[in-house]
Structure 1
Amino acid sequence: MIPWLLAALSLCTPGTGLPPRHMDSVIHMVEALESPHANVTVTMAELALALGGCSTPGCRAVLGEPPNVTTAPPALNPDQWQLLTQLLHRDAAVLAPDGSTVALGPLLAGIAVGLRRAGEGPILDAPVDPLFAVTIAEALGTSFLLARRGHGATLGPGGCWDDVDHPQNYTLMGPPSLVPDAVANGAMDGVLLGNRLAGDPIWLAKLLRDYYGTGNGTEEGRPPSSYRRRDFGVLAGAGKLEKEVLAMLRVLRVLPPTRELLEDVGAEEEVAIAQRASREFTERYVECPAIVPRCMWGARPYRGTPKPLSLPLGSVYIHHTFSPGTPCRSFAACAGAMRAMQRFHQDTRGWDDIGYSFVVGSDGYVYQGRGWHWVGAHTKGYNSRGYGVGYVGDFSATLPDVDTIALVRDELLPCAVRTGRLRHNYTVRGHRQMGHTDCPGESLFREIETWRGFV
C-alpha cells in the first residue's frame, strides 16, 4: 500500500497532559490568534495547512503547497502550540459540545476554501469543486479504491473518548478506514462552514462558537452542529456528491502518488466507484441518524449474559421515559439521563441493563441502550419481537419537538429497514397497547397513530 495511506488509517489520539482535546480548546486558540493584540499574521486556516491539515495529494493539488510555519505564533502558549501541532494532522480529532467527534483536518481545509472564495487567497483552477475536494471527495474516492484492492473498510468506524469532560484519548471501535465517523463529521462541517464563510465572512471564533455551542453543558437548545447530516444533505444532494467524487478520481489518476491506484480502473468502473461511494456515504451519514454509543454516555457493564435478537424484527414499541420527565437538550443532559435510567433499571428494577433498545434525546441524537442486537426489557412479553424506543420526557400533555419526532419516524426506522434490522412491513405500537400503562403518554400516542406501520 502507498506509505502515506498507512498512516492515515489510524485515528487513535495519544493522551497527554495538554489542554483537553475538545472543540472549546480549539476555539480558545482561534480567539487568541484573532485578538487585536495578538500581533500575528497567520490565521488558523493557514496553520492547519502548514501543520498537516492538507497533506494528501489531492488536497495539495487543489489548495497548493502549504505555507511554511515552523515556530509558534506569539499569541499561543507552548501547551496550545504543542496541542495544535498534534491536532492538525488530517485525521486527529476533538470532541464537540454536542457529543460528536470531529476531525480538524477536513473541517479547517473546508474553512480555508471558504475564506479563499471570500477573497482571502487564491483558488486554483481545477476540474472539481474545491470545497468538496478537500473535505470529502478525495477521502471517499481513495477509501473505495483501496477497498477494491482488499485493503480494509470503506467507511467508519466510530469511537469513544476516555473522558468526555477532559478528553485526551480517542479509540476506534472497529477496523479503520480513510473515512471514520470523525472524518465524516469534520468533512460535513467543513463543507457547511466553508460554504457559510464564502457567502458571509465573519470571525472564525464566532463562527465556531455559534455552530458548535459554547460548552458541554449548555441547555440553550440544539446547536447547528447537531443538524449537520440534514444540512450537508441539502448541499450534497441531487447527485452533487457523486459528481465530485468522480471528478476527484480523475484528478487522482494523473497525480504521481495516487495514479497507481487507478492503473487498472477503466472509465465505467470509475463511475461505478463514485456511485457506490456517494450512495453508501449518504445512506450512512445523511439518511441514518447518529447514534451515541454506550461508552460515550458512560454506561455500566451489562449484568449477566445478553440474549441475541433474531433479525430482522417485525415491530417497534414507542415509550416515553416519564422520569426523567423533562426532555434533555444537550449531550451532557442526555448522557446524564441515560446513566440515571440505567441505575434505576439495574438497581431498583433488578434488570440486567437499561431496558430500552434506543433512547431519543431532544438534542438531535439517538442514544444506544441495548442496541440493535440484544433483547431488551422494555415491553413485557414482547421484548424479543421488536425494538423498544423511548423518548426522554413526559409526553402525556405535550409532544416532543418536530425534529425529535422525525428523528425516529423519518430516520431511525427507515434506516433500520435498509440495514436489515427491521422488516419492511414492520408495525408500530405504543407501549400502552401491550400492557397496563399510560406510556407513551396521551399526546405522543396520538402522534404515533399517524405513523406508517401503526396498528
Structure 2
Amino acid sequence: MSPGHWKSTMVVQGILWILYGVLLQPEPGTATMPLLMDSVIQALAELEQKAPATEASYTASSWLLSAQDSGSHNPLRRFLLEGQTLKTIKLDLPSLSPELQGLIEEVARHSVQNGKEYGVVLAPDGSTVAVEPLLAGLEAGLQGPRVVNLPLDSTATPPDAETTFPDIGAMVPDVRATSPGLRGVSPDATFADVGAMSPNDRAADLDVGDISPDIRPDQASSPDTKANPPTTVDSLLVVTLARDLGLNFLQGPHTQSHSELGTEGCWDQLSVPRTFTLLDPEASPLTTAFLNGALDGALLGDYLSQAPEPRPPLSHLLSQYYGAGVAGDPGLRSNFRRQNGAALTLAPALIQQVWGALILLQRLEPVHPQLQGMNQEQLAQVATHATKEFTEAFLGCPAILPRCRWGAAPYRGRPTPLHLPLAFLYVHHTYVPAPPCTDFLRCAANMRSMQLFHQDTRGWDDIGYSFVVGSDGYVYEGRGWYWVGAHTRGYNSRGFGVALIGNYTAELPADSALRVVRDELPRCAVRAGLLRPDYMMLGHRQLVHTDCPGEALFNLLRTWPHFNTNVKPRTTRRASRRSKRKPPPMTL
C-alpha cells in the first residue's frame, strides 16, 4: 500500500471514530436535524471535507483518544477495533455545524428504553437502521477483516484507558483472510489452510434473484461440544452481529433472555422523523433496525475490505448503498440486505463466530453477569440457538414494512379477527397501478392510492389485501396477519390475500417479488403458526370471475409446489372489462 493510500485510509478511519467518540453519554431525543440516513451521510461528507491532510497518518485509535470523553462502551469492540495501535496524541476535532453535532450525539449509541428506540435513522428505502453497528462494520472493513486469535488466558481483564492492547497483526502473522474467505471455515483450521483457500464470491457478485437461504434443520446443528472451542474470530462479524446475537439469547438464573428479535416500529412523522416507537414495548434489543444496521455494516465492511486503494469516501459509499447500488450494482443495496446477508453469514460459520464472541467477551469481562459460570457446552448451545433463530426468523423471512411506514389512513369501522392458522394463500396482481414499483417512494404512493380507492370508491373499511409485494425488495402490510381482508369475495376469512404491484397479463414480476410470494412469506407464516403447513395456493381467478392475477403470472403460479390444480379458473370476458377501471390518483 502506498503512503498516500495509507494516509487516506487513516483519515476515513479517524472520521468514524469521531462519530463514535463525540460524546460518550448522549442525551436521547435531542437531535436538531431529522433522523434520516441522508443526515448521517451529510455529517460524514462534512467531516471528510474538514479532515486535515496533515493528520492523515494518525490511526483510528488516535482520532478516538483525541475526542473529549471518548471511548467505546463495548470492551469487545474496543479490543478488536482499537487494539492495533494506541497513541496518546491529542488532535483538534474538525468543527461541525451545531445541527450535525447534535445529530452525531443522537445516533452515537443504540438503545431500547421504555418502548422507544434510540440511535436509529430512516433510510431512503423505507427501512430503519441503527447507526452504531453500521459504523462498526465500516471501521472493521477499513482495518481489513482478519482472523483474530482469542486470548488463551481466561483471566484477561477488561481494557481501560491504561491498557496496552496486543498487536493483533503480530498475533496472526502474514494472514489477512477476508470475510468471504472465512465462510464455512472451521475456527480450528490452521492459518496455512485458510491462506490456501480460494475466496468465495462476495455477496455483491451473487445473483440476488438466486439468493434465498435454504433453511434446513441440519444447518444450525450444534457443534461438537467435546471438541476444542473456537480459537479465532472474524472481527467484522463479531463487532457487527455475533456478540449481540449471542448476548440476546443467553439464559441463566440471574439473567434475562430476549428470545424475540426483529421488532418493527413507527416514526412520529416520515418527512422530519425524530422519535421511533416500537410496536412491541417489551421488544428485544435486537430490533429490525439494529439487525438492519448490523447487516449493512457487515456487507459494506466486507466490500471495503476487498476494495482496491484508494477506497471510496464513506459518504459516497453510503449514498450508493442506500440508493441505486454500490458501484452501479443494483444487487448491492440496502433493499436486498437480507438476501446478501444470508450469503455472508452462512449458519455453520456464524455459529462458530457467535460462540467465539462469547468466549472472548467472557475473558475480557470475567464478571459479566450473563456469562459468569457458563461452560463451553452452554456457550455452544446459546450460539446454535441464536444462529438458528436469526437465520430462520429474520434472514429467511421477507422484510415487511408496517402500515405506518407507507402512511396508511386509519381503518374505518371495527376489523374482524381471523381464526388462525389459515389454509389458503390467494395470489393477486393489482393491475392498476400497472407499472411495477422499484423504490420506496413509488411503492408507498401506490399503497396510499390503492387504500384511497378501496375506501372511497369501493366503500371498504381499508385496503383489501393482507399484504402487497413491491419490486423494491419489500412487503407492505395491508390488513396483516390477524384481520379479515377484502380481496377474494366469499373466501376472505379462509386465506390471506397477497398482491403483487403491477399488471402481469403479459409479463412476470421481478424475481425477488416472486420469491417472496412463493417461498419466504408462506414459509415464515407456517413457522409462526399463522398458515397451515399443508396450505394451498390459489390464483384469484380460481375463486372469482376475474382475470387476476394475470395470464403470465397465473401460468407460472400453476408450477409452484403448493398450487391447487383441482380448482378450475373462472375467468370471463365480463370480468376483464370490469377490471379495466380508471386508475386512482397517484400522490407522492
TM-score, normalised via structure 1 length: 0.88
- Offset from partner CA, 1:270-319 (integer Å, 9 cap, x none): 11111010110111221000000011111111112211111111111100
Aligned to 1:7: none
1:137 aligns with 2:251: no
- Offset from partner CA, 1:212-262 (integer Å, 9 cap, x none): 1179xxxx9777111111111111114111111100111122233653322
| C-alpha displacement of 1:454 | 0.7
Letter of the 1:34 counterpart: E
1:184 aligns with 2:291: yes
Alignment coverage as a number of residue pairs: 439
Aligned to 2:136: 109
Distance 2:39 2:409 in 1: 29
Tell whether the 8 Å contact from 2:417 to 2:482 is kept in structure 1 after alignment: yes
Counterpart among 407, 410, 414 of residue 301 in structure 1: 410
| C-alpha displacement of 1:54 | 4.3
- Offset from partner CA, 1:325-357 (integer Å, 9 cap, x none): 111111111111111111111111111111000
SS at match of 1:187: helix
CA 1:195/1:152 → structure 2, altered by over 3 Å: closer, same or farther?
closer
Distance 1:374 1:392 in 2: 21
SS at match of 1:253: helix
Counterpart among 144, 158, 172 of residue 278 in structure 2: 172
Distance 1:428 1:240 in 2: 35
| C-alpha displacement of 1:264 | 3.3
Tell whether the 8 Å contact from 1:448 to 1:454 is kept in structure 2 after alignment: yes
1:400 aligns with 2:509: yes
Tell whether the 8 Å contact from 2:347 to 2:391 is kept in structure 1 after alignment: no
Aligned to 2:33: 19
Aligned to 2:213: none
CA 1:228/1:408 → structure 2, altered by over 3 Å: closer, same or farther?
same
Which structure has the larger Rg over C-alpha atoms? 2
Aligned to 1:161: 267
Aligned to 2:335: 226
Tell whether the 8 Å contact from 1:315 to 1:387 is kept in structure 2 after alignment: yes
- Offset from partner CA, 1:54-98 (integer Å, 9 cap, x none): 422321232237988999843521211121122111441111111
Aligned to 1:4: none
Matches within 5 A, 1:48-447: 54-64=72-82, 73-74=93-94, 76-91=96-111, 92-117=119-144, 123=168, 125=171, 127-145=232-250, 149-174=255-280, 175-200=282-307, 201-213=311-323, 224-256=333-365, 259-447=368-556
Letter of the 1:252 counterpart: L
Distance 1:344 1:222 in 2: 33
CA 1:44/1:162 → structure 2, altered by over 3 Å: closer, same or farther?
farther
Letter of the 2:271 counterpart: D
| C-alpha displacement of 1:118 | 7.6
Letter of the 2:42 counterpart: H
| C-alpha displacement of 1:184 | 0.4
- Offset from partner CA, 1:198-225 (integer Å, 9 cap, x none): 110322122111111179xxxx977711
Distance 1:321 1:87 in 2: 39
Tell whether the 8 Å contact from 2:246 to 2:354 is kept in structure 1 after alignment: yes
Aligned to 1:31: 45
CA 1:377/1:109 → structure 2, altered by over 3 Å: closer, same or farther?
same
| C-alpha displacement of 1:152 | 4.4
Tell whether the 8 Å contact from 1:53 to 1:105 is kept in structure 2 after alignment: no
Out of 36-45 and 317-326, give the one that drifted further.
Answer: 36-45
Gaps of 5+ in 1: 1-10
Distance 1:67 1:387 in 2: 60
Tell whether the 8 Å contact from 2:250 to 2:382 is kept in structure 1 after alignment: yes
Over aligned residues, Cα RMSD in angstroms?
3.0
